[in-house]
Amino acid sequence: MKVNIYYGGRGVLDDPTLYVLNKMEDVLHELRVSVERINIYEHKNEITTLPQTLKEADGIILGTTVEWLGIGGYMQQFLDSCWLYGDKEKIKTTYMQPIVMSTTYGEREGELTLANAWEFLGGLPCPGLCGYVEDLVTFEMNEDYNLIIEKKAENLYRTISQKQKSLPTSNQAVKQSVLRTPQMELTPQESEQLSKYVSDDTYVKKQKEDIEELASMFKDMLGKKSEEADDTFIKDFSEHFVPQKGFSAKYLFIIEGKKKPLFVDVAEEELDIHYGQEDGIDVFAKLTPEVLEGIVAGRMTFQRAFMTGEMTAKGNFKTLRMLDNLFAF
């Protein structure tokens, strides 16, 4: 059994929620449960990727602190990401226990918010725990409070292991009849943001090295006298060019089987297109002649080719998206 703990507070030392989560984690370890703690504030730049961590969990704990109003921004962003990008089929079988402690008013409302959110997502909520803490030391020294916390951890373990059922709720009915998760056509930039590699500095560095290596390789190829001129696709691009006011960009298409890459330079109403290596490229794209033929024939768009993996690209993804506007195939 595996339980993930998602902490949505700020991580301050006197946060009572941290004390409660630590106690619960100790109990779960004693019950031989695999526990993974995820502090959302440590992943604030890649919160959209966190729903992927739900896939291996049998149950989760959502813990946050009410410091002045509501469950806090980090936890809200995480729930938003679960709604937009989470695997709803996995969430349907995942139990969730809300833990909300407060240093002001509103712990009950916070617990209810987490429970309602998880039901709207289609998940299985468990009875949670909420409380007001005025003095953390006094709270920690109270054995009755510690016993309550331990019992809540045991109840979560029992609920997951026995796969306990609950009566249907109106939240679930509303979700099925009214609410719909939007079926989004993700842009290349959004897909990059959701990539599990986006926050990996080593991966990003390797990508930059690959771009430099590709550029160097084609510069060397240009020095060979055996290269032959080729005007394939140049006419197609020229005839379907749609100028975009105020937009300029340089594209380099690396086409498999071609000795030279296809260079496309757009400067508002002017278009320069030829085979050869150039500097200052905004977007590098790699694809097969068959895929490019499908694009110029109107059977596929640049964005669709990128989304399906038939074309790979590196560089400014906002600029990549403009290709379908610049060339109306």
DSSP state of 261: P
Q: 24-28, 173-177, 206-210, 213-217: which has the minimum mean pLDDT?
A: 173-177
DSSP state of 52: G
- Taking residues 218-237, report their average pLDDT: 65
SS3 content of the chain, % helix, strand, coil (to 5): 45, 20, 35
Q: What is the CA radius of gyration of the chain?
A: 27
Q: Which domains does the chain have, with CATH numbers?
A: 2-177 (3.40.50.360), 188-326 (3.30.1050.10)
227 pLDDT band (50/70/90 cuts)? Answer: very low
176 pLDDT band (50/70/90 cuts)? Answer: low
Q: Which two tokens stand for residue 165?
A: 């059922």
Q: What is the pLDDT of residues 9-59, one digit of tens each?
A: 999 988 999 999 999 999 999 999 999 999 999 998 889 999 999 998 999
Higher pLDDT pick, 152 / 165 = 152
Nearest to 261 by CA among 240, 239, 292: 292
Answering whether pTM is above 0.75, one says no
Higher pLDDT pick, 164 / 5 = 5
- Taking residues 193-221, report their average pLDDT: 67
